[in-house]
Structure formats: C-alpha cells, structure tokens
Structure 1
Amino acid sequence: MERTTSPSLAARGLSPQAVERSRQKHGSNALTKQGRSGFGKQLLSNFGDPIIKILLAALLLNLLFVFKEQNWFESVGIAIAIFLATFVSTLSEYGSESAFLRLQQEAQALRCRVMREGKIALIPLEEVVVGDLVLLESGERVPADGLLVEGKLAVDQSSLNGESREAQKTPGGAREGWNLSRENQLFRGTVVCAGNGLMQVQRVGDSTFYGGMARQMQQDTRQSPLKLRLEGLADTLSRLGFAAAILVALADLLGEVWQLTGFQTPALLSLFSQPPQFLGLLLESLTLAVTVLVVAVPEGLPMMITVVLSSNMRRMLRDHVLVRKLVGIETSGSLNILFTDKTGTLTRGKLQVRELVTGEGGHFASPQSLREHSLPLYRLCFLCGAYNNESSLSGQGQPVGGNATDRALLQFFLTQARQYTAPAPSWRSPFDSRRKFSAVTLRDSGQTLTLVKGAPEQILPGCTQYLSSDGSALPFSQEKIRRTWQELTKKAYRVLALAYAPGETGGNTLSGLTFLGFIAIGDTLRPQVKKAVEQVKRAGVQVVMITGDNKDTALAMGEKAGLCRENDRLALTHDELAALSDEEVKALLPRLRVVARAMPQDKSRLVTLAQEMGLVAGMTGDGINDAPALKLSDVGFAMGSGTEVAKEAGDIVILDDNFQSIGKAILYGRTIFKSIRKFIVFQLTMNLCAVGVSVLGPFLGVENPITVVQMLWVNIIMDTLAALAYAGEAPLEEYMEEPPKKRDEPIFTSAMLHQVLCMGLYTILLCLAFLKLPLLTQVLSPRQASFHLLTGFFALFIFCGVFNSFNARTERLNLLAHLGKNPRFLLIMIMVGLVQCLLIYRGGSLFRTSPLPLPAFQLVLLLAFSVIPVDFVRKLILRRGPGSRLRRSPSPF
C-alpha cells in the first residue's frame, strides 16, 4: 500500500547538516557492542577451573620426576584429561553472546522510510537519528522510540511486553515519561499491524527501550552452582591431597633415616655430613609424595562432568529439550524459584473465543449450538461479530488484518462467514481505544441495523433491554448482567459486549441499545500445564507467573494453572512492585505467585533480587522482552516457538513449548548431580585404596604392588569407563520429591566421606592382608607363588573396584534397584571384568601377570565380593541411625 504525503508533510524532514548535528549530540541508532572473547581466550580462561588448577599442579610435579621414574603414562593421562575437559567445555560456552549478535544482525537487515528535506528516503535502521520523521504502515517495524504525530496505528508490542493484544496508538497526550501503555508513544522493535502514521524520533540506539534490553544481554552472568560447588570440592581435595603428600613424605623420610641411623647422634651426623646420600633420600620421599598427590587427585572428574552433561544432553533432546549450554542442565536441578512468562509459555499465545453468553444466561461454546438454541439471537450475534470487524478473510479463508481480538471473533464465526455475504456497511465507526467500542450500520433481510461491539463498561449503560431466545426484547437487569460479566472476568477472560439498535443511529453515542450477549475471549492454557506446574512445585520450586494482564485476570489464570490457591495468592502489579524497596520485595518474594501489568524490567529485577537472597533463579520466556532476564537468570528456558533472540539468550530451549518439559529438565539436572556424586564416591574410594597400598606397601616389604602399566588400566577404569557408566543413570521420579539443593551446597558431603573412608580403608586392609597373610599358599604351586600372589593382588584390587561401583551407584540396600534403566552400567562393568580376566591369563610380562589356578581365582573373587556385604552393613547402620537421610529415602529397596 502506497502512502500519500500531504503538502505540509512534503516540506518536512531533516537536512544532511541537521542529521549530522543530531548524530553528534544524541548518537547513532546502532547498539553498542562490548568486546567479545575469542575462542583461544575463552579456552585459556577455562584453565582457571578449580579442578583443572589441581590437575595442572599435579601434572607439573609429575613432570619434574618423570625422568627419574620414566612414568610417562600418568603424565600423558593427566594431560589428555585436562585438554578434553577444557576444550569440550569451551566449545559449549563459546557463543554465549550470540543473543546480542542476533539482535544486531536483525537490526542491520532492516530498512525504514524517513522524510529528509521533503523527500522520502529509504535508509538503514542504524542511520536514523533523533528528530527524523519516520513513515510507518502495516507490516513495518518501528526503528526507534518516538512520538506518533500523525495517523493512527495498531501496534504489536509483544516483542517488548509479551502480550498478544495489539496496542492502539494515536497522536497527542503526554510527552514525558516513557511507558508502553501510552497511546502516543512508539517503541523500537514493535510491529505495525494496521493503519499508517508518522513518527518523530525521540530516542535512538542504546537509549531506546530495546537498546536497554540489549545492554542487559551483554552483562556477565554469575557463576553456575556447579562451578561454585566444584571450587569448594577443589579446595577440599587440594588440602587433603597436599596434607597426605606431606605426611607421607615425612613418614618415608623418617623411616629411611631410622633404618640407616636408628636416630643415634653419631650416625645422624654422619648422614648429614654426606649431602648426596641425604639428598637421595629426600628425592625418594618427594617422589613418593608426588605419586600420592597424583593418585589422590580425581583427574577423571572434569572429563566425567563433560561426559555426563553431553550424554544427558542427547537424552534430553529426545524429550524435546535442547540444551545450548551444558552447565544449564545441572543448574536446572538446583532451581529454587522459577519466573515464568504467561503468554506463549503457560498459554498458547493465541486468543480464542471461549464462549458466548446471552442475556438469558445461556452459555454457548460454538455458533452452531447458539443457532440450534435461537436463530434470531444467533443471526444478530453473527452479524455483529463478523461484520462489525476490521479483519477480513484471506484467499485461503483465514482471518487477516485487524487486531487479535477481531481475528479471534471472525475465527469463531468462520464457517458461517464463508457461506454468507452481507451488504457492505453503509456507516462504520472503527474501534477507538478512548471510546472502547466500534459500530457499523448495514441492511439485512430488508432491515437496517446498527451493530455495536466493545468494552462492557461502555456498552451496558446504553442497553435498556436484551434479546431473548424467541427474538423478543425483554426488560434489562443491569445488576444481573454485571454479575455475569464479573464471573467471566474471574475466569481470566477478556469480555466484549455485543448489542444492536434498529435503524441508523448516525453517531457515536450509545443509547437505546438491545443487549445480545457477552463474547468471552481467552488465551488457553497449554496441555498438561497444570500437571507440570504441580510437578515443579512438588520438587520444591516456587513458580511465579509474570504477565501484562490486569490483576484479576492474572490471578484467575494463575488459579487455572495451579499456581495460586485461596490462601496462597499474593499478586503484585508493576506499579505496586515499583513502589516497594528491594528489601520489601525480598520479604514478600517467598509468598509471591503473580506479577500483573508487568514491564520487562520487573523480570530482571526479580531475578536479581532472588539471586541476592542466595536462590538459584530460573526464567522462562519466548519474546525479545524476555531475553535480558533469560540471560541474567541462573538458567533460562526459551520456548521453541519464541523469537530467535530469546532462544539465543536462553540456556535451554523447550522445543515443544510444553511447560512439562521444564519439569523434565529439572529432573535431568538432579539426576546429573547425583551421577557426579556417585562417580566421586567411586573414584575417591579407588584412589584412597591405591594411595594406601602405594604408601604402606613399601613399609611391608612390597616395593611395587602396582606397576605403571597396571596403573594405566586402573586409570582407564576410574576415569573413562566409570564416567560412561555413571553418565547413563536413569532419572527417577523420586528425585522430584526432594527439596532443591542450596546454591553453595558442597558436592562432597559427610555421608559421601563416610562411604569413601569406610570402603576405602576396608579395601586397603583387605589388599594388604592379601599381600602379607599366607591366604593362597594352599592353592598355589610353590614355584610360582610370588608371581601368583602379585597377580592375585592385581585382580583383587580391580574386582574390589568393580563391586564397589555397585555400592556407589545407589543408596538403597538393593544394589540392583533400577539397574535395568542403565544397561550401559552393567555392560561396562561386565566388560571390565572380562578384560581383567584376559589380562590375568594372557597379560604376561607386560602386565606382570601369571595365570591363576581356578581355586585361587575363586578366592580372589570371593574376597573382592566381600565389599558388598560390608557396605550393606554400613548402610543398614546409617539407615537405623537417628535423623539419617537414608532413612528418609522413599524406599530402602
């Protein structure tokens, strides 16, 4: 549609000199971009991860002594673990600023029409300056913030406020104070749905409402709960590791000195007088300390976390949950509070006529049911809905044009609208946001009618009667009909009143009307939303709905979605929220359920305040207006049907737009956290056993109980294979019955320490007893007894780890509980057992093994299996203890 320009308009517009002066004074319309880290810089920054720092220290110390011991396997293993963990993590995190880049790409692709020296010029959006006159018509995007000075527009502001209802914009009104609800103000990023007009630009670039959101999307977000917890774990492990290394070094040095000198003064003086000999002893002690430190550090942990996150990312994709940032999965399981957008998230984001209510009180869900009830009433309602309407049918027979309300109304009467064509209205008064009604006059069946549609508060005072089902007009009860109106409002419906008057009124006054009925229009809840909300709440997550609806409608929708109850329905509007201090909001936040008439800044403010309270805050949304809060939150859930900007800003994309998928993300997050804890228990138990045997073995006359090649196989089991095994742990619904973990709750708990110490110490004692007590002399041939003994010890150590993996997998007494849901775990452990058998009987000198007689092998398996009944007793004792967490689990089996 070509817009005609009036002669007075033709003389308007900025000159090139005025454009330059404006750009110098107010800036350009481009959005400021902060510097972005390159891939290499982000990779280097990831080496600052707390666990990676420990591994780097261990690698450095290991390299210092590698030439003496020729132990390249350990050094290479640590280096590979460091590289894989940091590289995969960097790949996941790189591109976190793409939400802002998406904004810029969209902006650069746009052009707009402006008046420059009386001529219409088509210029890039970034070249618009303050003072420009921008021509706007249906389908165009507003390029900057400004005032409408001519024309009339219907504008879709959903990209900024999330509401599907178009805003009517007209010239005039206040010029100070920028607010999306002001009728004369237009905002960058919104779309013109109908009409044409002329806007004078007032704000550009970063100063616009849109630019403010772009700045927020570039702000750095705080550390994820997982990284915070890993810092605590790293601190604990480093203290324990260095303390153990120092103690072992001192013990070894003192032991060697005792054997050489007996702590006799002359012998001590003689030893210290020979520096090479003493330095040799000191070097051996330091080498042992480094060995202890390297073995004690769980170098497989960073790689395991990457493996478990990546593995579950693929599983979540099958459940229509796309994970953009790996750490977002685990963070989901730690959520304390979830701020959710209403439109497009809890609801479908599409207005529909839900029912038609007549003056007699009849409720009809379809035009056909009304037609069967009363043909005269149906006929007039149809004409009022279909022809007092600024929408029209497209060539494909679908409603186009007009506002969302008109399109929903035409859709309701769509079948009949295709079959019937009434004469064009002879007079029309379009909808005006100030008058809040529209009217048309047309002829139907030889009768002239004026049909009125609009806000009940405008229409009802002009009604003196209502049309009954038999077509007669009956006296009108204002009180009764207003009660019906209030009941519909409480159901979260937007209500329109339909009325008519015989003849041609020829004016905009409302009087002498006959009431036809109420049209209840609403945005329907998505399927299973109520069930999904209940699941999330049962998991201990507070859900707060944020919407642009009025408070009554918002509360009604909140009740429908299961967010509110009679005694638990605190709702605040934007104005009420703005009037409260941050401390007052924090005091009310635990009881808050609904925020009505919300502005985009309300979302970011609430997320920030929740984080200041120590909560892990999540945010859902689908519009550009949601993007800043999505990025600021600990985990942002973007809807798959939402804007690209929202999806880029979020950590997780819900592809099926189903709120129930958020519950699945929380469940997966909790499952991952438990998998990480299980892996830590398994690996630290094996590490403790390896350290204990390595340290105590020489004191008992066993210099090398585990060779370098054998230790390589042990590391493969502890790191790669165990990571794959625990990564497949199934999400159990019982995890959703547990309260959320605190943001700073340590990964390593006292219960885990108890299990590691108990089973680690038991395994150490078992292995040392195996080495020193003549347990196998009766089943071994004398000639190969020593070789068989070390082979049996190697097998015992590995099989203890295999059986301990089952202990670490579950807190239940029944170790096979839910094992069928993780077949990978069983397959990996069976594979480890089979490979170990192959090494025993075919490993030869490379693995320092000799085939064990069957009785000896059976004895080794029996001793290794003993870790299961020992841990069973440990769990049983803890379960019976007062206040035990194990006692409170859903079932011991």
Structure 2
Amino acid sequence: MLNSNGLTNKEVNESRNKYGSNSIDGKNKCTFISLFIETLGDPIIKILLIALFIKVIFLFKDFDYFETIGIVVAILVASLISAVSEYGSNKAFQRMQEESSKINIKVKRNGNITEIPIDDIVVGDIVLLSSGDKVPADITIISGKLSVDESSLNGETKEAYKEKVNDINKPMDINKIYRGTTIYDGAASGVVTKVGMDTLYGKMAKSLVEKEEDSPLKIRLTNLAKIISRIGYVAATMIAISYLFSKIFILNNFNFAIISNISFNTFIGYLLEALTLAVSVLVMSVPEGLPMMITLVLSTNSKKMLKDNVLVRKMVGIETAGSLNILFTDKTGTITKGKMEVVKVLLGNLNEYNSKLELSDTYQRLLEDSLIYNNESEYDKSSGNVIGGNITDKALLRFASKYKDDEIKIIDRVLFNSKNKYSTSIIEKDNKKIKLIKGAPDKVLKYASNYLDENGKVKILDKDRLNNYINNETNNGLRAIALSISESIYPVDSIRRNILVGIIFIKDEIREEAVDSVKLIKNAGINIVMVTGDSLSTGVSIAKEVGIIDNEGDASITSNELNKLSNEEVKKLIPRLRVVARALPEDKKRLVTLAKELNLVTGMTGDGVNDSIALKKADVSFAMGSGTEVAKEASDIVITDDNILSISKAILYGRTIFKNIRKFIIFQLTINLAATSLALIGPFIGVPSPITVIQMLWINMVMDTLAGLAFSYEVPKKEYMMEVPKKRDESIINRYMLNEIVVSSIYLLGVSILFLKLPIIGNMFVNKEHFMTAFFTLFIFLAVNNLFNTRTHRLNIFNHILENKPFIFIVIFIILIQGFIVYSGINIFGTTIINIKELIIIFLISISIIPVDFIRKCILKKLRGNIGV
C-alpha cells in the first residue's frame, strides 16, 4: 500500500538495491581508440600513406630508409595528436552537456517535500510535477491533471492529457507519464514505477544517438577547407608536372636527342621525385584542422565559460552570440536580482501594512491561505528552504512564513501562465469551499467590485483611487500582485465576481552590474528590448534606471498596443523599441520573426514553458538557470546565474571564438601559400625540393595542430565589445585578412628564394647539408615569429601576451623540438648539426618578418584606420 508520506531513507536504499538507480547508461560515447582509428581516414593521413606506398614500391637506387621510417612515425604521431586533441575537445564539450542536463526533482520523503538530483530517484518515490518540469522516470499519476509533450518519445506534436484513473472506461495509459517527456501545463503527483534503463526512455537510449547538426560556421569552415584542398590538389599536380618538365626539358636545354635517350629507370626516378614533391605540397595545403578549430576553441574555453556562468548546449549558439544585433531580454532575475521581497500589503481602502502581524487574526489567516494554497512553491521542512515554483511564488511563501495545514485540502487549481496572468485554487477549509485568486491587478480588478477590510467586512471598491495608487508605486519600480477570493467555485478558471483581499507590492532590486552590462552590450552595437510581464510603468521605470531607455525617441509599448499594429508597423518600430510590457509568448515569437525579416541576428532570453517557441525561433537563445527544463531544452545557451552580465560575457566569447578562428586562418594560409609557391617555383630556379616530405610534416604540425592550440587560448578582450556586430552572411576571410596573408606569404617566399639562391648567403655555411638544414630551420623560425604577428592586430605584438601562457609554452616547445631535430644527430629529418654562427644567421633573418609586418600594419592604419580581423 502506498505511503502518502513518501519513502523513508531505509526504503530508498532497499528500492535502489532491488530496482537499480535512475541513471541512464548506454549513450554512445567516442573512445580514444575509436577516434584514433577514425583519424586514419583523415586526408592528411591518406596522403602520408600514399607517400609511404611510393617509397616502398620503388625499392631501387638511393631508397631512403630513414625518410620511410620517418613517414611511418609521422602517420602514428599525426594520428595520435589528432585523436588526443579531438578526444580532449569531445570530453570538454561532453562535460558541458552533462552539466546542462543536471535536474533537481521535487519528491516526498520521510513525510517532507524536498528536492533531489534526478539520478537519486528510486521506484516508489512520490514525485511532485508541475508546468515546465521534465518527467524524471516512468510514473503513475495518483492525483492532479497534466498536459504532456510526448514528442521526444513518439514524435506526436499534439499534447497528451494525463490524470488519475477513476473511471474503468478510460484508457489505462491516461495515468502514465514517461521519462524524457515534458509537462506543458497542470500539476500532479505520482509514484515512480520504473527507473533508469528500465524506463521506456532507457530502453530506447542505446539506439537514440543525439547528433548535433554542424553549425553554420563549421559548415563554412569545412567548405573553405574543401576549396583550399582542391587548390592544393591542382597545385600539387602542376608542381609534379613542372618538376618533370624541368628535369626532362629545361636541364637538357630542350635537346630532344638527349631527351629521347632518357632510360626508363631514369624516368621512373624522375616520376618518383615528382610524386614525392606533390605529396609534400599536399601535406602543407590540405587544412584538415580548419573545421575542428571551433571545437578546439570551445573546449579550451569551456571551464572559463562555466566559471562565467555560460553553459553552452549547442555550439551554434555561442558562435551566433558574437553576431547579435538585437537582444530581447526578460527583466526579472536578469536585469534585477530576482530576489523578490514583499514590502507591503495594500487593502482596498488604501491602508498600508508592512507586516502581516499588523493585521487582524481573521484577515491574517485569509492572507496566509491566499499566499500558501495558491502557490507552486513548497517549504522543504528538512532544510527550511522554499523550493519549486518561480521567484514570485517563493517571495510570497516566505512572506506567509507558514507551513501548509494538512486539514486544508486543495480540490482543484489552474496554474499561472503568461497568457492569462492569473492563477486560481479551490480549497476546502472547515467543510467550506472557497476559490483563491492571484494575478495581475489589471486582470483581477476588472471583475472585482468589492473588497475586504481589516475586519473581514465586505465593502465597495473605489477602483480609480486604487489604480492611481498602484500606478504610482509601479512607476517607482515596485511590482503589484492582486489577491482575491470568490464563492463562485466553478468553473475553476473563472475570476468573475471576485472580492479583493489586497494588493501585494514586491520589490526586486536592480543588479549592481546591470547598468554597466547594458552599456557594454549597447556599445557592442546591440539593441536591447526588455520584454516583461509587468506593467508598462514598472518596465519603463526599470529600463530608464539601467539605461535601456536613454533617448526621447525610444519606444515603449504594451502587448495590447503591439497587437493593434501591422507587421510592417512593428518592423518600423523595432529599431527604437525598448520595452514591451504585459508581454505574451506570442509577442516574443512575433518580435523575433519580424526582427529576422529585417535581417537582424536575434537573441532571446526565456525561462518559462511558453518561452520555448520564441527560444527555438531566435538565432541564439539564452535560457535562465532558474527556468523550466522546457526552456533549457529549447535553448542554445544556459545562463546559470540568470544575469545580464553573463549574457554580455557569452556575446564576448562568441566574438572571441570568431576572432581566434580568423587568426588561425591567417597564419595557416600564409604558410600554406608561401610553401606551395616555393614548391611550384623551385624547379624553375634550380631548387626542386628544398623541404622533404618528413620536414613538411613537422611544418604542417606547427601551422596546424600547434598553431590551432596557441590561438584557441587567446583570451576574450573587452575591445571586441567596442566593434559593430559581424553581418549574418559575412565572409570568413575579409580584406584585412587577405592583406596580411598576401603580404606575409610574399615576404616568406621572397626570403626563402633569396636564402636559397644568393651566393653570399650560401657561402656562410659549411656545406650543402648545413645549408639545407639551415633553410629548414629558417622556415620554422619564420613561422614561429609570424605567430606573434598574427595573434594581435595591434602594433605591439606582445599586447596581452601574458594572458595567453599556453601560447608562450607552445612557442618554446616548437623551438625545443626544432633544436632536438637538428642537434640530436637522428637522421630521420635529413638534417645535420649546424654551428652557433649559422644558427645566429638563421635567427636574425627570421625575426625580420616582425618589423616587416609592423610596417604593413602602420601603412594599413594610416590608409584605412583599421588593421584588425
């Protein structure tokens, strides 16, 4: 038999031992081994395998065993590094996903109502559910009514209505609700029948693999990588042909008598060298790490974002946040502290009371009943904390400061929703039924003609005087809630013929950081529209105080006024719209839709069930940490502290990610273009293959994996919030980037050719082996110095560099590895030990790229006034 007090601690342990825990296992997770095997299919690995195949097949002449071994090692190392990087990124993002799925559930245990983590639920628990909750297990309803969204299980978009079964003629599953579904409306309690992998959701979990679609930015990066790769394949083919042309025709002075006598073995040797050169170019030109840069940047910043209360559910959200043009935001808890406090009670005769203790016993009991039994919050008797419900309900319950009386029963109720803006509850007390009403004053007072005075006597209500008083208080930022009663019990959702009990005034202080946060967002070129359920006077008062309204041309409007405007009129209004009061969910959806039609990148905050439609419609959606699970599920980003400051940080992170990706592209394409051009021109100037395949692999690792890591740790900078938002369809590569890529790659190419061809430089080195080792080292050092140029658009290349310590460590690591390659004596890279004099020459030539880029930045700044990406 079911115990209405819930399970005891002993029964909880027994149930868990018998039926298991409520955790869901079996979700497909990528292991390190699977990722390592998967990397063998990467383009760069395929190219290396081709190079290895070429080396092994042509076993003749000067077959280079060292380089062959080097390629094998390179395949393993490249696969290992790629797998480690992706595994780390996946784990970081997985941690964020797990953080976003943490849910606390309201249950009855040991006779008390308390909140516990979803995984702690056991069979037999009595669970209390209401609008916006996610169903934590398979449950049988024992009281109440619900409308449930079961689309996550069966694909049906129509709401399913659930209630306790009293009629044997009703379908038996009408009282069954299942894990993974969400409560759209209503309130109920139920007993848990199945948990964890035994639930319907659990049985489906192994086959349900949630695969997030690639974000628009990742698709654009993938397409860019494909374009660059195609160019690389064309360039590799041209380089192979030009090398053969040089060997066969140019070196033989187009003497066809000599050309016709070239032996088959010699031709095959030339062909092998040409193919090897082509492979070297492909190793450099295929940007396999480009699409993964988003995940890399996100994973390196994941801990910092969580610390800043920004929990990313979908990568597309944080990317898009950097391009926001307009932000539709809530007021309560976002701009204000969300710590509501009842400051006074006003009666219909305009008498004020700052404490319920000042009221008569009769009136005090009625006030307490109105606050306690028409409320979605509960007292957790074990901790004394108020749990469940929204912050308004919590404030009202704290003011009542009293536990529920088991003798008073709730017969029926209608929960508050943003459309009706009121809630009702029918209670039975002392064998008498009464309806309690709570809601917005303009809704409740519309049907009230009388009020109760301090002594409980019914008197005629002067609505005009009362409304004037309410307006004055809301103009000062207070929030008003009307309480009334009615003896007309049914229908339960009717508020007609009600008698006013009183007006509760609540104060919600503005966050100290709200003014600066609003200023920061506005300086970033983003319009802020405060969409609130409060009255227009309250909304305007708060908006002025925080700086959302700071211009005479700024517009404020109510939901009713908004609905009277055509879509074209609203579009004209949006650029100067600042406050929408008494807002409905449909208003949010309409505003987002029309703003998008104006080609504005839209952001929307939300916390309620009805916000989910607008959240899904927005380009980037922010759910509040204190909001419903429905809102969180519909969102891209969860703001765990509900703070507008954290929203501004999310925007900054979005911009930082885009900036860091662009820096990586500049660096990679610069090295790419220079190396490919050198390989193409080389055969015609007598330097067919200055860098070997294995050396190319190390250069590729520097410009791809290591550079990606270095740039991914670049910290968010406040200066990014002084720039205008990027356009929705803005190209990844802009003219400033092209300028840097072209100038730097031309300089890199020029230095390389001069180094290879000028006798004065060649004579500085002991022999050819020293000379070619020096050139390989020079190319690495040029790339390292160019890392400093690329990481900042400022003239001072060391600006903020200490804030990115991994960048410094990576630069040191590259230099140390290059030193090991040259001075270890291992011949895999085809190098030899060079002396200190030769090393100094290389270093001095390599740092010349820094002043050259400094001059480029100065010229660009003078001509265009901007040198950034």
Q: TM-score of the superposition, structure 2-length normalised?
A: 0.67
Query: In the aligned structure 1, how far is the partner of 2:90 from the partner of 2:386?
Result: 48
After TM superposition, give the deviation of residue 332 of structure 1 in Å: 2.5
Post-superposition offset of 1:335: 2.6
Q: Which amino acid is 1:331 matched to?
A: T
1:25-83 deviations in Å (ceiling 9; x for gaps) = xxxxxxxxxxx99779xx999x999xx99768867876775655944466556666776
SS of structure 2 residue aligned to 1:111: strand
Partner of 2:720: 735
Distance 1:329 1:732 in 2: 16
Q: Does 1:680 pair with 2:665?
A: yes
Whether the 8 Å CA contact 2:557–2:581 is kept in 1: the answer is yes
Task: Name the aligned partner's letter for residue 573 of structure 1.
Answer: S
Measured in 2, the distance between the counterparts of 1:571 and 1:335 equals: 23
Counterpart of 1:444? none
Find 2:301's aligned residue among 312, 318, 321: 312
Whether the aligned pair in 2 keeps the contact of 1:437 and 1:458 (CA below 8 Å) is: no
Matched, 1:298 2:292: no
Q: Output the CA distance in 2 between the equivalents of 1:325 and 1:579.
A: 35
Q: CA deviation at 1:869?
A: 0.8
Instruction: Work out the CA distance in 1 between the residues paired with 2:817 and 2:723.
Output: 39
Counterpart CA distance in 1 for 2:350 and 2:162 is 54
Counterpart position of 2:674: 689
Structure 1's 597 and 710: CA in aligned 2 closer, same or farther, altered over 3 A?
same
Aligned counterparts of 2:163 and 2:447: Cα–Cα separation in 1 = 38
Distance in 1 separating the partners of 2:580 and 2:496: 37
Partner residue of 1:259 out of 244, 250, 253? 250
Pairing 1:665–2:650 present = yes
Q: Number of residue pairs matched? A: 737
The alpha-carbon distance between structure 1 residues 106 and 558, as it changes in their structure 2 partners (threshold 3 A), is: same
Q: Give how far 1:871 is off.
A: 0.8
Q: For residues 644-694 of structure 1, what are the alpha-carbon distances to aligned partners after superposition, in whole Å with 9 as ceiling and x for unaligned? A: 444344333322232311211221221122112222222222223332333
Identity of aligned residues (%): 39
Q: Does 1:229 align with 2:220?
A: yes
2:139 corresponds to which residue? 110
Q: Structure 1, residues 844-865: CA drift from partner, whole Å, max 9, x if none?
A: 5344444433333222211111
- Aligned in 2, Cα 1:388/1:855: closer, same or farther, shift over 3 Å? closer
Q: Does 1:874 align with 2:856?
A: yes
Distance 2:272 2:226 in 1: 27
Once the two structures are superposed, the pairs formed by residues 519-668 of structure 1 within 5 Å of their partners are: 519-522=504-507, 525=510, 528-549=513-534, 551-559=536-544, 562-565=547-550, 566-571=552-557, 573=559, 576-577=562-563, 580-581=566-567, 586=571, 588-600=573-585, 602-604=587-589, 606-607=591-592, 610-611=595-596, 613-631=598-616, 633-668=618-653
Q: Which amino acid aligns with 2:678?
A: V
Q: CA deviation at 1:718?
A: 2.1
Match of 2:310 among 310, 321, 341: 321
Q: Give distance in 2, aligned partners of 1:59 and 1:728.
A: 29
Alpha-carbon distance change, 431 to 820 in structure 1, aligned in 2, over 3 angstroms:
closer
Question: In the aligned structure 1, how far is the partner of 2:621 from the partner of 2:79?
Answer: 34
The aligned amino acid for 2:555 is R
Matched, 1:483 2:468: yes
User: 2:842 — aligned with what?
Assistant: 860
Query: For each residue in 1:265-298, what CA deviation from the matched residue of structure 2 results, as whole angstroms up to 9, or x when unmatched?
Result: 8888x589x9998787667555534432331222
Work out whether residues 546 and 596 of structure 1, in 8 Å CA contact, stay in contact via their aligned partners in 2: yes
C-alpha contact 2:607 2:628 (8 A) present in aligned 1: yes
Change (3 A) 1:363 1:863: farther
CA shift in 2, pair 1:573/1:78, >3 Å: farther
The answer to whether structure 1 residue 827 and structure 2 residue 809 are counterparts is yes
Task: Give the direction of change, closer, same or farther, for the CA distance of 1:265–1:359 in structure 2 (3 Å limit).
Answer: same
Q: Which residue, 162, 170, 191 being the options, matches 2:187?
A: 191
- Distance in 1, matches of 2:101 and 2:514, equals 28
- Once the two structures are TM-superposed, the CA of residue 262 in structure 1 deviates from its matched residue by 4.5
Contact 1:436 / 1:458 at 8 angstroms: preserved in 2? no
Q: Does 1:817 align with 2:802?
A: no
2:761 paired with 1:786: no
1:448 maps to none
Paired residues for 1:502-521 under 5 Å: 519-521=504-506
Aligned AA (1:809)? R
Could you tell me which amino acid in structure 2 is paired with residue 830 of structure 1? I
Alpha carbons of 1:614 and 1:224: their partners in 2 closer, same or farther (altered >3 Å)? farther
* One-letter amino acid of the counterpart of residue 746, structure 2: L
SS at match of 2:767: helix
Residues 529 and 871 from structure 1, CA distance in 2 versus in 1: closer, same or farther, beyond 3 angstroms? same
1:668/1:731 contact within 8 Å kept: yes
Distance of aligned partners of 1:260 and 1:574 in 2 relative to their CA distance in 1, 3 Å threshold: farther
Whether the 8 Å CA contact 1:694–1:704 is kept in 2: the answer is yes
Q: Which residue of 2 aligns with 1:334?
A: 323
Distance 1:403 1:293 in 2: 59
Calculate the aligned-residue CA RMSD, in Å: 6.1
Alignment of 1:34-73 (within 5 A): 65=54, 67=56, 70=68, 71-72=71-72
Give the direction of change, closer, same or farther, for the CA distance of 1:66–1:620 in structure 2 (3 Å limit).
Answer: farther
Report the alpha carbon displacement of residue 777 of structure 1 after superposing the two structures with TM: 6.5
Q: Equivalents in 2 of 1:48, 1:593: separation in Å?
A: 51
Unaligned runs of 5+ residues in structure 1 are 3-35, 116-124, 137-142, 146-158, 161-186, 194-216, 419-423, 441-451, 468-475, 500-507
Post-superposition Cα deviations, 1:396-445, rounded to whole Å, max 9, x if no partner, equal 8888999997874564475xx89xxxxx99xxxx999999999x9xxxxx
Aligned to 1:754: 739
What letter is aligned with 2:302? M
Find the residue that maps to 2:290 and give its secondary structure. helix
Corresponding residue SS for 2:744: helix
Deviates most, 729-738 or 832-841? 832-841
> Could you say which residue in structure 2 is the equivalent of 1:206?
none
2:479 matched to 1:493? yes
1:837 to 813, 816, 819: 819
Instruction: Return the alpha-carbon distance in structure 1 between the equivalents of residues 829 and 742 of structure 2.
Output: 29
1:409, 1:789 → 2: CA distance? Answer: 82
Query: Which SS does the other structure have where 1:813 is aligned?
Result: coil
- The more displaced of 654-663 and 55-64 is 55-64
Larger Rg: 1
Mark the CA change 1:517 to 1:144 in structure 2 (over 3 Å): closer, same or farther: same
Deviations 1:705-731 (A, max 9, x none): 223443333233223322222222121
2:759 maps to which residue?
Answer: 774
The reply on whether 1:885 has 2:845 as its aligned counterpart is no
The letter for the 2-side match of 1:567 is G
State the AA in 2 paired with 1:640: G
SS of structure 1 residue aligned to 2:185: coil
2:236 corresponds to 1:245: yes
Q: Could you tell me which amino acid in structure 1 is paired with residue 138 of structure 2?
A: A
Relative distance call for 1:787 and 1:459 in structure 2 (3 A) is closer
Asked if residue 798 in structure 1 is aligned to residue 780 in structure 2, the reply is yes
Q: Is the partner of 1:747 in helix, strand or coil?
A: coil
Q: Please show how residues 105-144 of structure 1 align to structure 2 within 5 Å.
A: 106=135, 109-112=138-141
- Shift of the alpha carbon at 1:811? 0.7
Distance 1:614 1:80 in 2: 44
Q: Which whole-Å CA distance do the structure 1 matches of 2:211 and 2:574 have between them?
A: 24
Preserved contact between residue 277 and residue 693 of structure 2 (Cα < 8 Å): no
CA distance in 2 between counterparts of 1:219 and 1:82 reads 23
Secondary structure, aligned partner of 1:494: strand
Secondary structure in structure 1 of the residue aligned to 2:603:
strand
Alpha-carbon distance between aligned partners in 2 of 1:863 and 1:453, rounded to the nearest angstrom: 78
Task: Give the whole-Å Cα distance in 2 for the aligned partners of 1:413 and 1:814.
Answer: 61
CA distance in 2, matches of 1:305, 1:762: 29
Give matches, 1:349-360, under 5 Å.
Answer: 352-355=341-344
What CA distance in whole angstroms lies between the structure 1 residues aligned with 2:684 and 2:138? 75
